[in-house]
Chains A and B, each alone.
Chain A
Amino acid sequence: MSSASPIPSKANLQGLIVRGYTHPYSSHLLYSFGAQAQAALFFKALCDRGIQDAQDWGAAKPRTILNLGLTYAGLSCPSVLKAGVFTAADLTAFPATFQNGPASDGSQASLADVGTSDPSQWWYQNFQTTDLHCIVHAYGLTAADLTEVVEYVAAAARAAGVTELFAARDQKSRLTQCQLPVDEIHFGYRDGISEPALQWRTAGTPGPPDQGDLNNFLIGYPEYALVGPGPTSPGPAANFAKDGCYNAFRLLYQDVAKFNTLIESQGPDKVEWTAAKLVGRWRNGSPLMLSPDEPSPATQDAEDFLYYTPAPSNPADAGNTSKCPFSAHTRVANPRDQALTTIEGKTPVRIIRRGVPYGAPLPAGAPDDGVDRGLVGLFLCGNLTSQFERISSWMNVNDFSPVFPPPRSRTYPQDALLGNRVSSSTGPSINTDFLVPLPTAAGPCPVTKLTNLPELLITRGAAYCLLPSISAIRQLAGLPPLPALLRAANADTQFGHPRKPRPLLPLENDHVATSHY
């Protein structure tokens, strides 16, 4: 399956890796390959329908789309091994984090799902995480389109003896996208604005390798990858995984009523201000670094900004925290030019987000209605530990930057929106206060403190999936591989969008720590 070309073919990549779909309807179907399952028959039916690849569809937007991922437990199933593509022993070449899954102790050291989020509580205890073998992502332009494609997949599963799993409380509902405005989540923010550029780096690409390059997300191209997507040792597992990508699948309940109480806590005239400070963007998307005083349509899609450049007028606020607090969600998840501690590397890692909201919205002004709602999170990466788990650990402990609290402080803050508010058994002590520095002409900034931040998320389930290449899925289906011309680089080799040149990152100690975080 390996290609002679150093440039991957878009015909061989699953489409959701390189592009976010804007289909307003989607459903995420969970499957288990039991003893009677004929996995090859199931994969063949999906291939016959068409697994969406990454080629440009031009003006002809597909009415329906299918993509799929497989867990390590799924790859290890007898009905999948029967295809003869790899043996169980071959699979040990996959990274241990993928093998062990998100419920493992190693992963939980970063993810910190505790209390009601504990892995023992996942999926409403309808099934065990190890029973989850395959996730099919189905998209439709209309509700009817989605119904039609979901029924096709469900029928294919039944015909192949593949068992559908249900993660909802009622044990029968599917994970279906709710009809919020496109790109909006239940907390009312526009989401998915800042994504990696996903350019393909070659020897001729100017500038240093970038964490947002697609090379860091696709398996099988180590030459310019900064994070080492694996398997990296030659063999059947590496051949199978080539042109694939990992998906950290997270089903996250969002407590909208609690969130509303939080943003109303600073007074009725500060609701949107508080919401913006928690995230680092106004709810329309405008980043605080560019629109510190109010949201602006002109900046609502803005992505090109830094935290230290240009320097603020007040030298005591070198990190521009009076615009965007250190622990604001988007600043934690992508600290851009903010200095990192040595062990974090020189530049922040990135992940690709392809999630959608699920569950009926909470009516405006209503108290909690007990409805399950949140995010079907698809966090794509080439290295589950170096990318996804690292950013997760940053959210739970804001200790990744030397500009965070001075050494004498005994506790660290968390991501203002997504922190779990619990000190990990293996990590440093955390505090649940959120400090919001305020602008001032000179000298230390006054601070507004939001105390005892609530836990706004509950993890309902998680799985680590491989999004295999189209060729790899066809192999599991017993179909011939894609024609060589499609597997090799074709004429369409343009990936992502050009990055704007940015100033070189300053050295770690060049940043002046402020007295606040």
Chain B
Amino acid sequence: MATPLTLYVPIKQDAISQAAAQYAQQNFVSSVQAGLDASGIVHYARLSLIPNPSGSGTLAILLDTVFDGAMNPYLDYFWQNDGTKKAFQGIAAIALTPPEPPVTDQTGFENFIDANNLNKKATDLYQAYTLTVKQIVGS
């Protein structure tokens, strides 16, 4: 089975933050594709915008991904990759509650992921197969 990461981050309601969220969502795949391809462990990743109950604007960003193996040891890879680093820093920059410590280094990044991951113990993931990305892509 793979590991899910469900990063749920409520964001600020000002116009700049709202526009940044739209931009992040529209450019998500192109910004992270190279890093995720090279990682060889990510099955999929998507970035969704959760609308405000009023129907106007974005309440939160939801980054939803599934990957092979443990998460903690490999966060440094995603921090050191420019595309994924910018994506995560962009989300942190518009977070309604600014992360503390700030997401300016590896520890801050790890703590940001840990604090906002809804799936610390994933018992709700269905997966139709047990193959890893390496096994699927390499077959």
* A→B interface (CB under 8 Å): 92-97, 100, 104-107, 109-110, 222, 227-228, 230-233, 235, 341-343, 345, 383, 385-386, 389-390, 393, 397, 399, 406-410, 424-429
Contact = CB atoms under 8 A, between A and B. Distances in A.
A contact patch SS: loop
B131 interface: yes
Contacts of B38: 342-343
Nearest to A112: B70
A389 B73 contact: yes
A407 B102 contact: no
Contact of B130 (A110, A343, A397, A429): A429
A426 B72 contact: no
B56 interface: no
B14 interface: no
Interface stretch (B16-24, B25-33, B107-115): B107-115
Interface stretch (B57-65, B74-82, B86-94): B74-82
Given A341-B40, A409-B135, A233 B74 contact: no
Nearest to B106: A228
A410 B131 contact: yes
Given A341-B134, A342-B39, A427 B68 contact: yes
Nearest to A94: B107
13 contacts: A93-B100, A93-B101, A95-B110, A97-B72, A100-B114, A109-B3, A343-B40, A343-B74, A390-B73, A408-B135, A427-B3, A427-B68, A429-B130
B44 to A, nearest CB: 16
Given A97-B110, A228-B105, A428 B132 contact: yes
B69 A109 contact: yes
Contacts of A424: 1
A386 B73 contact: yes
Name, among B107, B122, B139, the residue most crowded by chain A CB atoms within 10 Å (CB to CB): B107
Given A93-B101, A426-B3, A228 B115 contact: no
B101 A343 contact: no
B101 A106 contact: no
A145 to B, nearest CB: 40
Contacts of B77: 342-343, 345
B120 A106 contact: yes
Contacts of B52: none
Nearest to B39: A343
Contact of B70 (A96, A110, A227): A110
Nearest to A97: B72
A406 B114 CA distance: 33
B101 A105 contact: no
Contacts of B134: 341, 399, 407
B41 interface: yes
A227 B72 contact: no
A429 B134 CA distance: 13
Contact of A231 (B39, B101, B114): B101
B68 A92 contact: no
A470 to B, nearest CB: 23
A429 B137 CA distance: 17
B72 A408 contact: no
A3 to B, nearest CB: 20
Contacts of B74: 343, 390
A227 B76 CA distance: 8
Name, among A104, A386, A397, the residue most crowded by chain B CB atoms within 10 Å (CB to CB): A386
Given A105-B120, A408-B135, A96 B114 contact: yes
Nearest to B113: A96
Given A93-B101, A389-B72, A407-B138, A426 B122 contact: yes
A407 B135 contact: yes
A428 B137 CA distance: 15
Name, among A94, A233, A426, A429, the residue most crowded by chain B CB atoms within 10 Å (CB to CB): A426
A390 B74 CA distance: 8
Given A342-B40, A399-B134, A110 B72 contact: yes
A393 to B, nearest CB: 5
B104 interface: yes
A402 B47 CA distance: 30
A217 to B, nearest CB: 15
B110 A385 contact: yes
B120 to A, nearest CB: 5
A426 B139 contact: no
A414 B135 CA distance: 17
Given A110-B72, A386-B73, A232 B110 contact: no
A407 B40 CA distance: 12
Contact of B68 (A227, A410, A428): A428
B110 A399 contact: no
A51 B100 CA distance: 33
B70 A427 contact: yes
Nearest to A390: B73
